[in-house]
Structure 1
Amino acid sequence: MRHNCRFMRLADHFVRSGDTLFRYRGQLPLLMLPVFALGMLDARLPADLPPAGRAVQAAAVLLALCGLVIRVLSIGTAPEGTSERSTTSPRASRLRTTGFYSIVRHPLYLGNTITAVGLGAFTTRWYVPVIVLLLGLLYHERIAAREEAFLEDRFGDEFRRWAEAVPAMVPRLSAYVPSDTPFVWKRVLGREFHGLMAVASVVFVLDISRRALAGATLTPDPLWGWFFALSASIFVVFTALKKTTGMFRT
């Protein structure tokens, strides 16, 4: 009995700390930037990377983009009233159990973690993505605990049945159930261009830092320079459209 009480106190602590982290979840990834900087300082990569190094960085960026794709597929098929956006506390009037939510309970946090690990791998230091993965799991675990406490209180047995059948962060692909709502491009285009800009910005800064540490001019690798320019153009256009038109309203 004593062990159960101790466990409950630990679970309650996760929920309380998750409540605080939930409010600042948009800023928390910034804590990983010093880890990226440490990796670049340690790597001391040459200004002109050999083919193997370029291949590693290209694979890392593709992995980061895969995380964004998971977010896009999850958000694009979200029914109205599920996982409503809030900066203070979780909100939902419906429990979502199809689409990505049929194979993993927290696909958005899974996508965030994969993106962060990909950016960490861009440094080419093996320990950077490992540290980033551990940090991501540490704070996502607590935020997820807060959200699940809300969902259990809101939906009761419906939530408990779903949580028992679906893993938290490691997808069970064999359990996939197609989404019962159509994909809404407007919702995705109106929200997720920020993520693409964030990935491109981190890659751009890391690449410039690599060249600066190697004593080269502060010009990016052409591939990452074009990637940043394209992402910045999309960001500027979509930001303007969002502010001046209603085309992204759903």
Structure 2
Amino acid sequence: MELVKELDKQGNFLFKYRGILPLIILVVGMGVYAYEVWEAAGTYRIRFQDNEYEFFCLAVALLGLVIRILTVGFTPRNTSGRNTAQQVADTLNTSGMYSTVRHPLYVGNFFMWLGVAMLTQHAWFIVAFVLLYWLYYERIMFTEEKFISSKFGAKFYEWAARTPAIIPNPAKWRNPDLHFNLKKVLRQEKNGVFAVFLLFFLFDTLGEYLTYGDVSFRNTHWLVMCVASGVLYLVLKLLKNHTQVLWDKDH
């Protein structure tokens, strides 16, 4: 099979199952973290209650979430979604975040999961995550751009020629064509908000158990943030599924 066709085939497959990568990070990352904490028991190489570092990791993850919010909030219907069955693009997004980078959602995802990967405090795991992420999403981006170029033709090539693929260039920023849609953000990004705080809570709880042999929620703030984001997730899910509060005719 030609390399182009092979990349497209792989990209379509990975597009449908792109939610698997976070699960891999969770399972492998927690294993690495557990080993590091266990090996360092009684030393100061890894400190369970190193809140400054954990909050730095959280800041990285929240940066990714902000990028996603700024992307999703300014895009029209049937674009920048969580669909996995097939490619959808009724409109070519070229303003807002899409004026600085062609794949802002994947940039956001990168920082969200980089923040989680950094919790392991294991340099080689973090490097491996970055390389895996690139190989994983490079194929998805290839497939997406093939689909979009076939649909929008010259308009896509003109936009692609001036817009970097994955490393944002803020100097190219152009104000969004639409108003910010908070309802769309609440519908689509509730999962990500809850996932971030849940993972930080799980890592912290695992570290506490391996360090002290019990779970007393010594770092109460992670428990509070996890519960709060979980409640928010449930409320938004109920509003989305059983009411029209988070829906409007334009989005």
Once residues 83 and 63 of structure 1 are traced to their aligned partners in structure 2, the CA distance between those partners, rounded to angstroms, is: 22
Task: Quote the sequence identity (%).
Answer: 33
Match of 2:165, SS state, is coil
Deviation at 1:27, TM superposition (A): 2.7
Q: Pick one of 25, 35, 53 that aligns with 1:42.
A: 35
- Unpaired runs of 5+ residues, structure 1, are 1-5
**Higher mean displacement: 215-224 or 156-165:** 215-224
Aligned to 1:22: 15
Question: Deviations for 1:7-48, whole angstroms, at most 9, x for unmatched residues?
Answer: xx3232221101011111123321112331233123216699
**Which amino acid in 1 is paired with 2:116?**
L
Aligned to 2:232: 234
Residue 194 (str. 1) matches residue 191 (str. 2)? yes
Sort the Cα spacing of 1:126 and 1:93 in 2 relative to 1 into closer, same or farther, 3 A: same
Give the alignment's Cα RMSD to 1 decimal. Answer: 2.1
Residue 74 (str. 1) matches residue 71 (str. 2)? yes
Sort the Cα spacing of 1:232 and 1:82 in 2 relative to 1 into closer, same or farther, 3 A: closer
Once residues 230 and 74 of structure 1 are traced to their aligned partners in structure 2, the CA distance between those partners, rounded to angstroms, is: 24
TM-score, length basis structure 2:
0.90
- Unpaired runs of 5+ residues, structure 2, are none
**Which amino acid in 2 is paired with 1:227?**
M
**Which amino acid in 2 is paired with 1:235?**
Y
**Higher mean displacement: 121-130 or 180-189:** 121-130
Once residues 73 and 227 of structure 1 are traced to their aligned partners in structure 2, the CA distance between those partners, rounded to angstroms, is: 22
Q: Contact 1:97–1:162 at 8 Å: present in 2 too?
A: yes
Aligned residues: 243
Sort the Cα spacing of 1:57 and 1:89 in 2 relative to 1 into closer, same or farther, 3 A: same
Match of 1:248, SS state, is coil
Aligned to 1:11: 4
Q: Contact 1:200–1:227 at 8 Å: present in 2 too?
A: yes
Deviation at 1:127, TM superposition (A): 2.6
Question: Deviations for 1:73-121, whole angstroms, at most 9, x for unmatched residues?
Answer: 1000002343455322211121110000000000000100111101111
Once residues 51 and 25 of structure 1 are traced to their aligned partners in structure 2, the CA distance between those partners, rounded to angstroms, is: 31
Q: Contact 2:116–2:200 at 8 Å: present in 1 too?
A: yes
Residue 108 (str. 1) matches residue 101 (str. 2)? no
Once residues 219 and 160 of structure 1 are traced to their aligned partners in structure 2, the CA distance between those partners, rounded to angstroms, is: 56
Sort the Cα spacing of 1:246 and 1:51 in 2 relative to 1 into closer, same or farther, 3 A: same
Q: Contact 1:98–1:178 at 8 Å: present in 2 too?
A: yes
**Higher mean displacement: 205-214 or 50-59:** 50-59
Match of 1:190, SS state, is helix
Match of 2:88, SS state, is coil
Once residues 219 and 235 of structure 1 are traced to their aligned partners in structure 2, the CA distance between those partners, rounded to angstroms, is: 25
Match of 1:214, SS state, is helix
Once residues 242 and 88 of structure 2 are traced to their aligned partners in structure 1, the CA distance between those partners, rounded to angstroms, is: 28
Aligned to 1:225: 223
TM-score, length basis structure 1:
0.90
